[in-house]
Structure formats: structure tokens, C-alpha cells
Structure 1
Amino acid sequence: MTQGMAIANKVLDNPKVTDVMSSIEKNPVLSHLVQLADKLVDIGKTVPFIAPAFVILKLIIDVEQRARDTDAKCTDLLERINFMVSNITVLEKVKAIEPLIAVISKMNDTLKRAASLIQAYRKQGAIARRLNISNSQNFVQMAESISACSQDLMLSLQIQQTGDISVLTRSVPVDSQDEEAKSFVMSHGGQSAINNDPALVEEFAKKMHMTMSDQVMDQMQSSMEDILEENQSRIEALLKENSSNTVAETIKAMAAEARELEAEQRLICLQCDKEYRKSANGPEACSFHKSMKTNGSFSCCGNTAPCAYGSHHPAHHCEYPYTNFYDYAYGILGYTDTHREWATVRETDLLTDEEKLASVSELVRWRTRHEKITQPMMVIRVGFVRYDNPYYFQAYDAELLKTTNATLQETRQTLIFKTNTSNDEYAMAEWILDAAGTIRGVRISANVATSDTPTVSEVPIDPETATLSGEIRSISKASFRVYKSTEPYTFPEPVHVGPILRSTPLREVREFKPRTKLPLLVIPEAKMVANSSGKFARMNADKFQGTLRIFNKSAPNSQTFVTLASCKAEYRFVGEDTYKDVDSLDLGNVKFPTTIEPTQSLDLPFEAIVRRNPVQAALMQSCWDWAMVALHHPIRVRMTFKDIEGEELVFIQEYIHQPSPRMAVKDDKDLLFLHIDDILENNRCTVRVKEATDEDHVVDVNGIKFTAQDLHKIVYKAEQTGVTEVNLCSRENGSHKWDAWALVDLSCRRVYGIKVLLAPGNTRSSKTTAALGYALCPLYGGDEEGAMEERPQRYAEETVVFPILETEECPVVVVDDDVDDEQIPEVAAAAPVIQAAAPVVAIAAAASASATQALTEVTKNAATLDSAVFAASMSSLERRLESLDTNVARMATALEKLVDILSP
């Protein structure tokens, strides 16, 4: 036993055993196997025939601790072995041992085959493991053997299983790479073809992003069955050669070491979120990524596996970048309720746009909306927190300041952090010390190559409380000096070429009286509208809609019913001579014929559809609340009603385009307003330049705002290049595009004007309109009081000119015509007198004069009577008129006969 302990101690002193313990610590399944082997050693003292079991377990432990990666199949097999071997721990309580020798021997054989399989599998490289399809089959067969052996053990040992046996019944794990490998082998001729074709193996390796070594083909061509048999033979020889006592002592020592590690305090590494012990920590104990995870991958390496290694850290630090640090830092910097800024210095390179930043802030809470921290803390930040950028981000409390102060007393190194070694471009933080060498504040600086001097601020702090102890001092501030012109700037007048949409109606809508001899009045409920109702608007036609109220003005007792038999609609553009039929007419629920009783009315909703011309229809545009056909031409819709006797009622309504109140027009605050109009689509494209309304910006070009710093960059680049008409911004929207240029005065070192060109976009086949204008840039720059030195102005050299446009014919607009005006009837010429027919003509004339006199008399009487008297006399009047009609007809017949007699 003493010899065994010596050997065990010698083994534990070996550096390889340190790696073993590290592997055991990282793998809970392996740790459990060590504890189980330790227990079997104790049982082996009374039951010698189980000694091979813990020897084989020691072999499995050795193989797994040497493995550099964790494999799902091996881990699954270890869990099954743990379950099987844990059953024989009851042997220490069993008295009749002899009957169990056979089943324990079977278990030892199963363990041998399992150890042989693990050895053979671990000797293969990653490529061979995937491409050897038999590997998965071997693990499945091994799982079945362990399950069968476990059942035999539980039955022989009379163990009543009350725990979870899912470890035996579950399937062997298969990952996505196994499936890809199987599919690759099946699609390329099977296992034999793969084993003998290095090109196919290399193709698979590239597909899986693996590196192919010289040993891969040897591993592929080796017989797995031969390797397993060879391994089992070696295990048998090892069992005979090695002393079980030596192995037992080694296992006991390893288990004792594992228990000591288990008792050691566990810490959480903030780099990898894993538990660790100080004794197991080392230079490469922790693995992590340098960058944040974006869209499922890491920009630092592009791989899923960690690409960087270091020691475990229980607290956040900025010695080197790691993924979890960004969540920690952004959780503070990304919200306003987590910190209160004391001082910030920021400079931007006017040529490269690179920024340098440093700040000192009070820490309020670690995370947004969390509880406030209970002790005063401050945060020093230098640079931008990114993995590819040098940065410093550290929270300080009074205790850490005390420790830092003690270090400064010895080193006198006041530099906290500097992003660059160069003095031309950097961000920096330094400790400010008093005469006694005690921390009294923080000095932060930022400088860029285009600045004459750095921007420097000093923040006084109380190191005893980590709080602000006085007013913040601005030592220096980098500035881009600008000057004011001695004279006002002048610009050319804006240029606009092309048609312009009207902002007011062409004229007032005319109203027309109904034309009819029927006792009907037509009262429109409102002006006729276009495309204002319905679930959809047509793209090839326009709808004109309205409602007419037709009123029968006959007296209530007159019994004068008017029956309308039909209705049709026609349209005419003002300037045309004739009406044309509409494409269709919808009268709602009104059906003809329909009768209107005296003093009653008929409400008639209508919708007349007028087709657009081919050019308008090709635009496929939906128009709501306006009609494309009437955009430039007033249109009239004529409704013609007929009663059952053919008498007509004609009513005309007119529609004139009403420009939208939302049409863009120049605002009082606009420094420049340009527009181009599409008179075919009734569309206006605009560009506005105005002074920015917020303090941070100077000018607003169609929604794009520019700060004084942005304008400084433009001027600086103009000074470097000599180009003083600098492209500022542009936009294209298909139908139109605009470009804006900054006009730079090199003498005053400022942008003094904005030049804008608005033109049709690429979707327009013809370029017929454009607009060019200038806007005075609002005054900016100067010191804190706004004072500026004056200099003579120097105008920019402009190269952009107004574009050459195509000609376009504008539509001829006819404002009004008299086609529908009421015509005064002319007096008819007197008919010639025929002497021979004088008597008959006299009779006819007398009869006609009699009828006319009667009608005149009735009219006069009707005008003086009230409605009741008028209604009572209507029947007698009708009888009298019928009698007159009969007499006239009789005289007409006699006249015809007289003419026949007188004819030669």
C-alpha cells in the first residue's frame, strides 16, 4: 500500500495530472466518473473481482482528459457508463457475492469495449470522425450493450429502480455536421469511394471549414474493427500488467484532489460567464470573442468558436476586448438615466471625420430603470468602446481611488489612458495631483490633425467620496476660425422653366337654369364633384358625381303628374361645340319610368363616367377628389330627362378643377423655395431651404440639416482642393431629383450660400422643366459672444449651369364659351298672303286669334286668382281647350278641300 501511495503521489506531481484535474473540473460527467471510480476502489477491498472495473474507468478518464474538445457522443457514452457502474455500488451491502461474478464479468467486458471505442474514436481527427459513418453505428451498438448490461445488473442485484432511466432509453446524439457528412458520403458513391478519394475528402473539409492534414487519409482507410480489437487486446494486457493497488491509489489521490477542488470557492468569470476556481485559472483558461455578436456571427473572426484566450476575470476590465464588456459598457453609456455627464471633450477631424472623445461622468445606476447605486461612483471614458478601437472605460469608487492613489505615490505615472502615441491625434485622460501627490481631479483632452490646439478640460474630484468637488475648467478649446463678410452677399435671380400649376381655380363655377316646358324645378344639392365617393377610383376614367332634386311645382289638387320615362347624360369640354355620351351613367336606386306627384320631389343621385384620353389613361393614376380630364379644361355634364309624351327636361352642371389646399407654396420662413410641376399628373415637386429651428444646426436643406461642424468640414476640404462649389447633398425620387451645392467663401472661411437645382428624375422620358435658385446661408461661427472679425468677401467659382431642356406644348385653356347660354328667339318673317285663300285664311286666323285670346284671358285670370280658384276652374278650361282644338281641326280639313278645288 505504501508503494502504491508513493506511485500515486508521483503521478499527482506530474504536470499532466494538473491537466487531468483541469479537464475533470470542466467536465461534470468526467468528475462524476472519478468519484464513482473512487467508490469502486473502496468496494474492491472486499470484492476483489471488480478491480478491472476501476482500472478500465481510469483508462477512460485518461483518454477523455487528453481530448481537446468536448464530443456529444463521448459525453453521452460516459453518462451511460456512469449509470451502469453506479449499480454495483450496492455490492458493499450484498452478502452472497459468488452468484454475481458472471454478471460483473459481463459488465467488465462491456466496459472494455466502451473504453476501446472511446480510444479509437478519439484517435481520429475531426474530418475522419464525420466521414466514417460506422462511428455512429458503433456508438448506437455500444449504447444498446450498456442498456442490456444495466438491466442484467439491476435484476441480479435486485435493485428496484426508482430514478430516471432515460439515460438508457434516449437516442445517441447526432448533430447537423453528422447529417451533412452522411449526406455527402451517400451522394458521392458511399463509404468505400470516400475512403479512397483524397479529392472528395478535401472537398468535404473545405465545405465544413476544416483543415485537411496528412493523417486524414490514413485514418479514413484504417479498419475500425481492427482498431477496436487491437485496443481490447491492449486493455487486456494492461489489466494483467498493472497492479490494481497502484491504480487504486492513483484514483484515490485523484478523487481527494477533486474533493479539495470542489470545496474551493467558485467564482464567475465575466468574460465567459462560466464558473472557475483560482487554482484552475491560467493564461488560457478562459475562451471568448473580441467583438459583439451581430446577426448570428462575430465580426472579430466570423466563427462561432471562441477566437481569443486569457485568464478568467471576476470583474470587468479594459485590458483587452471581450464580448460581455460591450453589454456592460453600453448598458451605462447608451442611456441617460444611468449616468450624469460632468465634462466631455470631443473633436472631429475635418478631413477624415474621425472623432476623438474623452469624458468624466457620475455613475447613477448600472442598468437603465434599475435601482440607483448606494455609494458615489464616477466613470472615466476615453475613446469609443469598440473591439477594433483603443478605449478605456472604468468605474471608480472611493476604495478604488484610494488604491490608485497609493500606486501613484510610488510611480508618479499620472497618465490614465491615451488612445494614440502621436500628439497630433489622440484622446487622453490624466490624474491631477496636488503638491502632496494626492489625486485632486481628472484632466481630459482631445486633439485631431485639423485642429490647431487640443480641447482640454479639468474635472476636480474628491477622492474620499468619488464626487465632484468644484467647478469644471475649460483650459483650451479647438476651433475653426471663421470671418464675417464686410458686404452683404448677392445672388442671381431664381430661374424656372416649364409650366406651372394654378394655385387658384380657373374661375367660378357657372350655374345653369333647367330648360323644359314641364312643371318641374331642378335643385342640385351641391356642386358636382369628381372621384369623391366609392370604394375605388378608376385609372382610365373619372367619375363625376352629384345629387339632383326634381320638384313638381304643380298645385296639390291639379292632378298634374309628371312621369319621367328616361334619362341620359352627355359631356362637353368648354371650347367644344357638341356634347358626347358619357361612358356610363349610374343613377343609384332610381328606376325609370318614375312619376313625380304635384308638390313632391325626386332625389336623383348620379355618377357619370368620362373616359380619359390615351395619354392620360397610360399614366394609370388614381385621382381622389379631382378629375384628370378636367385638370385644365372645364367640363359640363348635361342631363336630359324625357317624360312619356316626349317632352324634355335639360339640366347642365359644370365642373372646374379646384387646386388642392395642400399644394406646396412658399412659406415665410423659406430662404429658398423651388418647384417644378407635372401638369399632366397634377403633381408638384419642391425643394425648400430654411434656417434650422434647433440650436445644434445651422441650415436645413429639404429636411437634411447641417451643423456648423459640417460646414467647417466643407470649407476645410475646399481650402485643400480649391473647389469652392461643393456638392452638399442630393436626392432622387424617380419623378424628380435635386442637387444642392455649398458655395464657399475662402476669404471668410465660411459657406455663404446654398445653390439648388431641381429637375425631372430618371423615370421621366422628357426633360422639359427645371428650376435653379440660391439661398443665403444663415450666419454662424464666432466666439461665445458671437463676435467675428470681418474680411472682404470672395465669391465661389461656380461650374454648374442651368440644364438644356426640351420644348413642350402646353395645353390651350378655354376659360368659357356661350354654347349653353340661353338664346333670344328671333321674330319670324310674315307669311305671304294668298288672295284666293283669303276667306279660309281669315277663318283660320280668326280661329287662331280666338284661341290665343282665350289662352291670354286664362293666363290673366290665373295670375289674379289664388290657387283654390285656379284649381276649381282647371276642368272647365280643359273642356274649352278641347272644343277649340276640335274646331281648329275641322277648319283645317275644310281648308285642305278648298285648296284642292282651286288647284288647276
Structure 2
Amino acid sequence: DSVMEQLNANLAELIRQNHAQLESILHDNVNSSIVDGLRTIAWDMLSLEAEQKFTCVQCEKEFTARTNGPNACSFHLTDIYQTKKKLYECCNSTFPCQSGTHRAKHHCDYPYGNFFPRIRNVLSFINTFEQWAVAEDEDYEGGNTEHAYVGRLFSWSHEGPRVPENTLYVMIGSVWYRGRYYFNTFTAADLREVGAAIRASGDALIFRSSPDENAYAMGEWVVSDAGEVQGIRISAKAATSTQPYVRICPIDSTTCLKGGEVVTVSKGGLRSFTPSAPYILPSPVCVGPELKQEYTRAVRTDFKAEIPPTLRVILKTMSNPPLHANERPSPPEADLFYGAVSLFNNNESGSQKSISIMSVSAMYRLVGDSEYAPVAKCQLLDGDGEKLPITIEPRQSWKIKFSMMVPRTEDDAKLRISWKDAAFVARYRPLRIKLILEDVEGAKMSLVLEYVHQPISWTFKQPNANDLYLFSFDNYITFSHQYVHITSDYSKDGLFTIHGAQITPKMLKRIVYRALKTQTAEIDLGIGQEPFPGEWAWSAWALVDLSCQSVYAFKIIMHDGKKFEQKHFGAVYYVPCPAYGEREEEVRAIQYASESASLPPLEPYTVPEFVQDDDVDDEKPVPPPAPLESTPAVAAKENGVVPPQIESAIVDLNTKLASVDANLSAMNTFLERI
């Protein structure tokens, strides 16, 4: 220790001597004013190092009281950075567009980019805050909403630590850089300071978003006669409302907690009233025949192959059912059929009677037609088409996989409908394809394969767990079953969805406002669609009770689309509207909507009778042999009269037979002797 003390003393003495020597040199070579200036700079540098440093919440740079100034800080109004354009949304540039003094604490005096993610970290999660009171009022024409909130802050981020003491927050207006907003927090100590400030100034206003009396959001302190904070009054008024929505949230200033139940002073916006009786809705209307979900009939597989007698082969189908259609979505002008058959050489092994197939072709017809027509395309799969001719040795077989393209009628092709796993061309009548094989000698063999339309699984849908209603109508021309789903909506703001379009209470209030303003109780929701390619269309309408000032039902209209010049099919359904928003206890008589929206003019459609089977391809029975021509002898015998010449011939024949018998008897005697 003594050695260290001696070293420190020596170093201090050395520094003092050097300092004195430096001052002497400066004094001898530099005038006194420069020396004083250098001394001042040195002391300032020492002071700056000792001064406390802060981090600016606006630009995230360090600063001190000496380095701060009116233009010391540069920042953007928003944190939204457009990655593709590589610029900020507030100024379409990367360079900061605002300047001001550095600020060590977050504030809402003016917008700055880093403020918004901080607030989003609070408002985006349910475990960061608790809402005590809300005042909201919507402009039903402009769509803007004025709002103010009071609540308790738990933490500044989802996974961050809890605030160390009870903290309430006040938010007025929409927290966004393009408008006026307010967001601030207060502890019990802050509330005491607020009370003192109000006692001194008499001003209890927290913030007002606009001086306009028609549309604003506002917060005010509620204080006692002694000047202590007792609560917060929040107000919100939209331009379409006659009065503001005002609520008072009591606050216990000693604990900074909610001090009682929230009191509603007045309600803005529209008020709904209780109907005097339940609503009775019209019955649904469906126009057109209903598609059946059962099979038309079973596929026939009893057709016999036509094989020349000179060929010993067996030709039979290898797929079940014999044909299936459109493994991929079909082209609009034709359907593709797939199948497999087997050709077996039934000659004895070693007979060297091979069979060579030169070509494979096909024809088709619909049941009820008398003649076959060539298919548009016949193709052998697995590369067999490139191997023709193919030779089949005795007791060997060839499995033939094929695809056939069958053209649609001109009217069907105009519909430009693509089907998968089913054949549009065979939707009314079964289709048969005759597969023809020809050998090198020109002999032809054939086999008939049948396709019968079956209900398509994706056409007839069943309600799922989220469906409240499932409405449909059938188009017998396209064999389509069109749907509109009414499903539950589990989101925070939704009531339900109509075919994916969300229906919210705010949306319904806007509809009621529009109905009251125009005195039209049937309002188009504007969510209808005509799905590509125009095969069908639907629309949705809200029915408003102008007396009770609420939506009581929805009307769904479905019909043929623009693809059809002449429309035949459609349906109208009604959906009761679930309860939404608050209703006044006042009971009013029901006023049903006067409806004008309806189905377009529909031409009646009669379902034709289609043949489902015929015997064109059935095996024909072999006719009996033709009778022999009648001879005179046969005719005489049939008549019971024997002509003389016949009788003479019979006598002569009997004489000859007797002679033969005698000769045979003599030969027999001779053989016995031997």
C-alpha cells in the first residue's frame, strides 16, 4: 500500500510539473486570450462529459441539454416504410421530413414515427390493457367514426413487464399521423398534479379532436369541489347524429382504479326500438326442376364382343366402370373418356397362330340414337399407339389403355362449361363407345362400353359446421347446383357472413340510416356477385323496419347468369336478422318493408323425356334354319296317298334288301365253318 501511495504521489507531481511547464510554454508563445479560450474549451469538454445523456424517442439518437435545440432532431411522421418503393408513406422519401427538438419521453403533441408501433403494441393485444368506457359515434354517410376510450394499462407490450403501479390511459380520436389524436397515461401521482393544475387554471379539458360542433371526440376531467379528480367524461359525435354519445367513467384518484359503474349521459347515432311482435317472413320461392341426387341407373356391362369366326380371341373390359370421364377439367367443346380392355389370343400354345393388331379406332352414340359417329380423337395410352402393329402370341394378352374425345353439340359447346370427373355430353342420356380393333388381314373385332352419368360429389354440397343457412337453386341445362352460404362469424366485429361477405352491426346501422333518409325499406347490400363465367348470379338485400329503425331480415335472390339469353331457373330466400346493438325499451308497431327486388323474367322450362336404354347393341338371337322345299313324295306322304311309282320303288328296294340279307347269312355260315 505504501508503495502504491508513493507511486500515485510521484505521478501527481509529474502531472503538475508537466501542466506548469505547458502553461509556461503557452504563456511564452501564445497571447493570453488564446490561452483563456483553450482553458474554456477544456472545461466545456469536461462539463459535457459529465452532463447526463438521453435517448430521443423520435430519432433514437443520444442527446444532452447542451446539444438539444429547435432543429436538433430529424424524423418521419410515420413508421410505415414502403419496401418496394423504398420510401416512407408520409413524404414519399427516405430523408426525414420533420425537424424539432429532441424529446426523451413519448408524447402526442405531434405525430412521429416511433410513437405508433409503441401504441400498437398496447392496443393489439388483450393482455396489455383493459377497457373501462367507450364513446363511439359513426358518420353513416362519410364512414368516419369519432371515438374516445378510457381504461387501465397493464404493460407496454404483449410480452413486456407490467407497469410498476396502477396506470390509466386515455385515448381520444384515431391514433394516426394524418389526424388529431391523443393518447396519454396517468398514475395516482399524475392525477394529483392534474387536480392541482385544474384548481389553478379552471380548465378541465383533456383533448378535443376538432373545434367543429358537428363532428368531434373529446375528453374532460370530472373534479370535485375540492379540485380532486373523480372521473373522466368522454364524448363522441358524428356529423349524421343529432346529439353526442357521452359517458362518464368514475376514477378513484388515490388508487388510480375505476371508481364505479360507467354512466351513459346521452346516446348518439341511431336508436332501435323493440318490435311489438315477432317478424313473419315470406316463404322461399324456387323456379325450375330439382336435380336428383340418386343414380340414373346402373352401367350395363353385358355387351358381347363382335369377333369374326376366323379369329380365336377374347375381348373384354378391364375397368369398372368400363368408362370414366374427364380426369382433368375438360375443354369446353368436348369430353374425354378413359378405359381399358384386354385382348387375349385363345389359340393353342405352340400353334404359331399369332394375331397382329394394325389399328384401334372408336365410335360413339348416345342411347336413343340409331347410328354411331366417329369420336373426335382416339388415343392409346402408355405409348402403345407408337408400337402398332402389335403382335399377340398364342395364350398371351394385350391390355389396351385408351382415351377418347367425344365432341359436344354446338349448343353445349357455346356454354363453355368445364367438368371434372363427369361427362357433360352424357348428362341426360347414357353414352356408348364402340372400340374397334383391326388385324393385319383386315378382320375387325369390337366391344361396346357404356358410360352413365352419376351425381357429382362436388355438385351437391352439405352444410358444414359453420353454416347457419345453405341456399341453392338448380340449373337443369348445365346440371349445376349453385349455393349461397350464410355462415357464422366469430370475429370481434362480425354478426355473420353472406357467401364470404361480412355483415357487421356498423354496416346495418348505415343501412338503416340510408333507409330512413330515402324512405326506402329495401336496400341492396352491394355484395352480390356473378361468378365467372356468368353461369349464375346472386344478390342480397336488407329489409328495414322503418318504425323500429332496424334491419329485420335479408333477402337472397339467385338466378341464371348473363351466359343465358333466355333465363329459366332461380330462387328467392329470406333470412331473419339476428339481434345487434342496443334496443330501446320503447315498443313500436312493426312496419314491413315494401319489396320490389325480384327474380328476372323466367321462361318456363319443361324437362324432356330422355331415353335411358335401348337394344341397338344387344346380342341378336340366331334365326332358325329355313325349312326345306317340299318334294312330291313328302307332299304325298303328308296327304296320306302313295303314288304307284313310289310304291313300285319300295317293292324293288325291299327285294334288294332281302337279297343282301341272304348273302350276309351265307357269309356268316361260311365263316362259322372256317
Normalised to the residue count of structure 2, the TM-score between the two structures is: 0.73
Which secondary structure does the structure 2 equivalent of 1:744 belong to? strand
Equivalence for 2:141: 351
**Contact 2:471/2:573 (<8 A) preserved:** no
- Are 1:575 and 2:368 an aligned pair? yes
Match for residue 106 of structure 1? Answer: none
Counterparts of 1:734 and 1:654 in 2: how far apart (Å)? 33
Q: Distance in 1 between matches of 2:65 and 2:441?
A: 113
Counterpart selection for 1:789 from 577, 582, 587:
587
Matched residue of 1:713: which SS? helix
Partner residue, 2:577: 778
Deviations 1:524-547 (A, max 9, x none): 44102334658x966765332233
User: How far apart, CA to CA, are the structure 2 residues paired with 1:698 and 1:435?
Assistant: 45
What is the correspondence of 1:180-579 to structure 2 with a 5 Å cutoff? 253=40, 257=44, 260-295=47-82, 296-302=86-92, 304-421=94-211, 425-434=215-224, 436-448=226-238, 449-450=240-241, 452=243, 454-464=245-255, 466=256, 468=257, 470-476=259-265, 478=267, 480-484=271-275, 486=277, 488-491=279-282, 494=285, 496=287, 503-515=293-305, 520=314, 522=316, 524-531=318-325, 541-548=334-341, 564-566=355-357, 568-579=361-372
Unaligned runs of 5+ in 1: 1-39, 49-243, 839-904
For the residue of structure 1 that corresponds to 2:193, the secondary structure is helix
656, 661, 685: which one aligns with 2:452: 656
1:593 aligns with 391
Distance 1:595 1:41 in 2: 120
The RMSD of aligned alpha carbons is 4.5
Q: Partners in 2 of 1:749 and 1:353 — Cα distance?
A: 19
What CA distance in whole angstroms lies between the structure 1 residues aligned with 2:570 and 2:633?
Answer: 84
Taking the aligned partners of 1:794 and 1:539, their CA distance within structure 2 comes to 46
Distance (Å, rounded) in 1 between the aligned partners of 2:277 and 2:492: 25
Deviation, 1:663, is: 1.1
Aligned residues: 592
- The answer to whether the aligner puts 1:702 opposite 2:494 as a matched pair is no
Once the two structures are superposed, residues 780-812 of structure 1 have per-residue CA deviations (whole angstroms, 9 ceiling, x without a partner) of 25857x9772404243252x4543579999988
* TM-aligned CA distance change 1:417 to 1:523, over 3 Å: same
Task: Indicate how the Cα distance of structure 1 residues 695 and 398 shifts in structure 2: closer, same or farther if over 3 A, else same.
Answer: closer
Distance 1:451 1:358, change over 3 A: same
1:38-68 CA deviation, whole Å, 9 max, x = no partner? xx999887778xxxxxxxxxxxxxxxxxxxx
* Residue matched to 2:424: 628
Specify the code of the residue in structure 2 equivalent to 1:529: L
Residue type of the alignment partner of 1:270: V
- Deviation of 1:294 after TM superposition, in Å, equals 4.2
Partners of 1:257 and 1:268 lie apart in 2 by: 21
Taking the aligned partners of 1:663 and 1:303, their CA distance within structure 2 comes to 53
- Does the 8 A contact of 1:268 with 1:275 survive in 2? yes
Distance across 1 between alignment mates of 2:615 and 2:278 = 59
| Aligned residue identity for 1:473 | V
Separation in structure 2 between the aligned mates of residue 745 and residue 602 of structure 1, nearest angstrom? 74
Pairing of 1:890-901 with structure 2 (within 5 A):
none
Cα distance change on mapping 1:247 and 1:619 into 2, 3 Å: farther
CA–CA separation in structure 1 for the residues paired with 2:24 and 2:434: 114
What per-residue deviation string (whole Å, max 9, x for no partner) do you get for residues 430-467 of structure 1? 33445543334434343435265624141434534x3x
The Cα of 1:255 is off from its aligned counterpart by 6.1
**Which structure 2 residue ranges, 5 or more long, are not aligned?**
1-21, 636-674
What is the rounded CA distance, in whole Å, between the counterparts of 2:122 and 2:187 in structure 1?
16
Q: Deviations over 1:49-107 (max 9, x none)?
A: xxxxxxxxxxxxxxxxxxxxxxxxxxxxxxxxxxxxxxxxxxxxxxxxxxxxxxxxxxx
RCO greater where, 1 or 2, for CA within 8 Å and sep 6 or more?
A: 2
Q: Tell me what 2:532 maps to.
A: 734
Distance 1:481 1:436 in 2: 41
CA 1:524–1:440 in structure 2 vs 1: closer, same or farther (change >3 Å)? same
Whether the aligned pair in 1 keeps the contact of 2:274 and 2:585 (CA below 8 Å) is no
Return the structure number with greater strand share: 2
Whether 1:743 aligns to 2:534 is: no
Corresponding letter in the other structure for 1:735 = P
* 1:485–1:790 Cα contact (<8 Å) kept: yes
Name the aligned partner's letter for residue 711 of structure 1: L
User: Is the 8 Å Cα contact of residues 501 and 679 (structure 1) preserved in structure 2?
Assistant: no
Whole-angstrom distance in 1 between the partners of 2:419 and 2:470: 30
Alpha-carbon distance in 1 for matches of 2:164, 2:244: 40
Counterpart contact for 1:442–1:461, Cα < 8 Å: no
Distance in structure 2 (CA, Å) of the matches to 1:560 and 1:825? 31
Alpha carbons of 1:570 and 1:663: their partners in 2 closer, same or farther (altered >3 Å)? same
TM-score, normalised via structure 1 length: 0.56
Confirm or deny: 8 A CA contact 1:480 1:712 kept in the other structure: no
Q: CA deviation at 1:393?
A: 0.7
Are the aligned partners of 1:446 and 1:456 in contact in 2 as well (CA < 8 Å)?
no
**Counterpart-to-counterpart distance in 1, 2:620 and 2:494:** 67
Quick one: distance in 2 between partners of 1:755 and 1:684? 19
- Whether the aligned pair in 1 keeps the contact of 2:512 and 2:549 (CA below 8 Å) is yes
* Counterpart Cα distance in 2 of 1:246 and 1:616: 105
Amino acid at match of 1:712: K
From the superposition, tell whether residues 616 and 434 of structure 1 become closer, same or farther in structure 2 (CA, over 3 Å).
Answer: same
